[in-house]
C-alpha cells in the first residue's frame, strides 16, 4: 500500500461498482472538486451518470484493470459482491478503502460471524452447516433463518423455518452449495443501523442510529433518528464504533443490529460501505455518509455529522417506480410538501429492486411516517 497522504480535490477517485451508492459517492466527490472513475460491467450503471470516465469491462478483465489503475489515484467500493481478489490486486499499487480484509469479512457470513464472536461482540445464536442434511440434527432452538454464507443480498439466499416439520420442505428450495449459516430468530423490538466512518488514524465519527423496517428481507422504511431512548442511542453508537475499530480498515461502514425486548443489542451484519438506511444523511446532516466516504478515502479530516432535522425514508421498490411515474400519480405524489425524490436511473425493473427513494424531512418523524405510509399506499396499490 502507498504511504498515507492526503489526496486532494482535482484527483481522480476510482469506484468499483456503479449502483446508486456509487452514484451518491460520485455526487459528493464532484462537489468537493474530485473526478470520479466508475468501473461496473453494466454499461448503464446509475453511477456512470456522474462519472468523468467509466469502464464497462468485467471485473476479471485485465486490460480494464490496467487502464483503471493508471487513471485513478485511489479506490473505494460500493457493493460487497465486487471480487475481493480484484481488490487484493489493486491494493498492491493503490490505496483501496475499505480494503480486501473488510470485503472478505462482508462476503462470507461464516467469517463475519466468527470474527464478531471471536472479538466478543453479541450476535444471535447460530450454527454453520456444510450440507443441508445437517439441518435435521441441529440442536439450535427454532425458529431459524438460514442464510447462504456467500452472495446473499436484499433477502435473496435466505429461508425461514419455524418448526421441525418444515425442515423437509425447505430442503427442496434451498439453493447454493453451502455452507449456510443457520441463525436462531430472536424476537426483537426494533432493527437499527449505525453508520460509522473511520480514518487511517482510527478516528471515528458516527451518526445516530436509524430505525429500519424491512418487508420480505428488503429495506422498506428508515426513520431517523430511531425512536429509542438516549441510553440505547449511545450503546448502539458505541457498539458500532467498537466493531468498526476492531476491523481496523479506514472507510465508511454500517453496522446493522437488533434491539432485543430486554434492551440488549446484538449485531446482525456489517456492510463495508455506505448504507441504504443512511441516504437521509444527504439531506438532514451537515455531512453525508458519502462525503465521509470521500473524506476517509482521501485522508481529509472527518467531521462530526450535525443533524438538522428528522426524516423518514421510503424505498421505491420494483414496480412502484412505474406506478409513481404515471402522470396522474406523479402529479399528486410529487406535490407532497415534505418529500424529496430520488430516482436512480435504473433502466430495468425487477421485483423488489431498489429504483429510488423518497425522503420526507421535517421536525417530527411521526408526521413524516404518516406521510410516507400514505404515499406508499398510493404507489403500491395501483396497477
Cell of 177: 452449495
The piece of 20-28, 92-100, 185-193, 295-303 that touches ligand AIR (CB under 6 A) is 20-28
21 binds ligand AIR (CB under 6 A): yes
Write down the least CB distance from residue 360 to ligand AIR, Å.
20
Write down the least CB distance from residue 276 to ligand AIR, Å.
5
Write down the least CB distance from residue 4 to ligand AIR, Å.
27
20 binds ligand AIR (CB under 6 A): yes
Cell of 34: 474530485
Q: Which residues, in sequence order, are CB contacts of 236 under 8 Å at separation 6+?
A: 192, 194, 209, 228, 257, 259, 265
Q: What is the separation, in whole angstroms, between the first and last Cα of the chain?
A: 53
Q: Which of 109, 113, 280, 353 binds ligand AIR (CB under 6 A)?
A: 353
Q: Annotate each residue in 271-300 with x if it binds ligand AIR (CB under 6 A) or - if it does not, as one string.
A: -----x------------------------
Between 235 and 311, name the residue whose CB sits nearer to ligand AIR.
311
The piece of 12-20, 28-36, 183-191, 367-375 that touches ligand AIR (CB under 6 A) is 12-20
Q: How far apart are CA 93 and CA 112, in angstroms?
A: 27
Sign of CA dihedral 172, 178, 184, 189: negative
Which residues, listed in sequence order, are joined to residue 251 by a DSSP beta bridge?
A: 198
Q: What are phi and psi of 330, to 5 degrees?
A: -55, -40
User: Is 343 exposed, middle or buried, given 0-12, 13-18 or 19+ CB atoms closer than 10 A?
Assistant: middle
Q: Which of 13, 15, 17, 157 binds ligand AIR (CB under 6 A)?
A: 17
Show contacts with ligand AIR in window 32-91 (CB under 6 A): 78-79
Label residue 202 left, alpha or beta by phi (over 0 means left) and psi (-120 to 50 means alpha): left
Q: Annotate each residue in 154-173 with x if it binds ligand AIR (CB under 6 A) or - if it does not, as one string.
A: --------------------
Specify the 3-state DSSP secondary structure of 21. helix
Between 224 and 235, name the residue whose CB sits nearer to ligand AIR.
224
Write down the least CB distance from residue 235 to ligand AIR, Å.
26
27 binds ligand AIR (CB under 6 A): no
* Number of chain positions touching ligand AIR (CB under 6 A): 11
237 binds ligand AIR (CB under 6 A): no
Between 82 and 379, name the residue whose CB sits nearer to ligand AIR.
82
The neighbour count for residue 214, using CB atoms within 10 Å, is: 13
Cα 237 from chain centroid?
A: 17
14 binds ligand AIR (CB under 6 A): no
Between 161 and 274, name the residue whose CB sits nearer to ligand AIR.
274
Please write down the long-range contacts of 326-332, taking CB distance under 8 Å and 24 or more positions apart: 326/382, 329/378, 329/379, 329/382, 332/378
Chain residues in the site for ligand AIR (CB under 6 A): 17, 19-22, 78-79, 276, 346, 353-354
Amino acid at each position: 500500500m502507498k504511504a498515507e497522504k492526503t489526496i486532494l480535490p482535482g484527483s481522480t477517485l476510482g469506484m468499483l461498482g456503479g449502483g446508486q451508492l456509487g452514484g451518491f459517492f460520485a455526487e459528493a466527490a464532484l462537489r468537493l472538486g474530485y473526478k470520479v472513475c466508475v468501473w461496473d460491467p453494466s454499461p448503464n450503471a446509475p453511477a456512470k451518470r456522474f462519472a468523468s470516465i467509466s469502464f464497462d469491462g468485467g471485473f476479471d478483465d485485465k486490460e480494464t484493470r490496467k487502464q483503471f489503475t493508471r487513471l485513478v489515484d485511489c479506490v473505494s467500493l460500493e457493493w460487497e459482491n465486487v471480487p475481493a481478489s480484484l481488490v487484493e490486486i489493486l491494493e498492491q499499487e493503490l490505496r483501496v478503502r475499505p480494503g480486501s480484509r473488510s470485503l472478505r469479512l462482508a462476503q462470507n457470513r461464516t467469517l463475519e460471524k466468527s470474527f464478531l464472536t471471536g472479538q466478543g461482540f453479541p450476535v444471535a445464536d447460530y450454527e454453520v452447516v456444510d450440507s443441508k442434511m445437517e439441518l435435521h440434527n441441529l440442536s439450535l432452538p427454532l425458529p431459524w433463518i438460514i442464510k447462504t454464507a456467500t452472495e446473499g443480498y436484499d433477502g435473496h439466499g435466505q429461508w425461514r423455518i419455524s418448526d421441525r416439520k418444515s425442515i423437509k420442505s425447505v430442503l427442496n428450495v434451498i439453493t447454493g452449495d453451502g455452507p449456510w449459516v443457520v441463525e436462531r430468530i430472536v424476537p426483537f423490538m426494533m432493527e437499527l443501523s449505525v453508520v460509522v466512518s473511520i480514518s487511517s488514524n482510527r478516528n471515528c465519527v458516527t451518526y445516530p442510529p436509524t430505525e429500519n423496517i424491512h418487508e420480505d428481507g428488503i429495506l422498506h422504511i428508515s426513520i431517523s433518528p430511531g425512536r429509542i431512548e438516549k441510553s440505547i442511542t449511545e450503546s448502539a453508537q458505541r457498539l458500532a464504533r467498537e466493531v468498526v475499530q476492531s476491523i481496523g480498515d479506514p472507510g465508511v461502514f454500517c453496522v446493522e443490529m437488533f434491539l432485543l425486548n430486554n434492551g440488549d443489542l446484538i449485531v446482525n451484519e456489517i456492510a463495508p460501505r455506505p448504507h441504504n438506511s443512511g441516504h437521509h444523511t444527504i439531506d438532514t446532516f451537515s455531512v453525508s455518509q458519502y462525503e465521509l466516504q470521500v473524506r476517509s478515502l482521501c485522508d481529509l479530516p472527518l467531521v462530526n455529522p450535525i443533524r438538522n432535522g428528522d426524516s423518514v425514508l421510503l424505498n421505491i421498490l420494483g414496480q412502484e417506480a412505474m406506478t409513481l411515474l404515471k402522470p396522474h400519480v406523479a402529479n399528486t405524489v410529487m406535490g407532497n410538501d415534505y418529500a424529496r425524490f430520488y430516482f436512480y436511473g435504473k433502466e430495468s425493473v425487477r421485483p423488489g429492486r431498489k429504483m429510488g427513494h423518497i425522503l420526507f424531512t421535517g421536525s417530527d418523524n411521526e408526521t413524516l411516517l404518516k406521510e410516507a405510509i400514505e404515499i406508499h399506499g398510493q404507489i403500491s396499490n395501483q396497477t
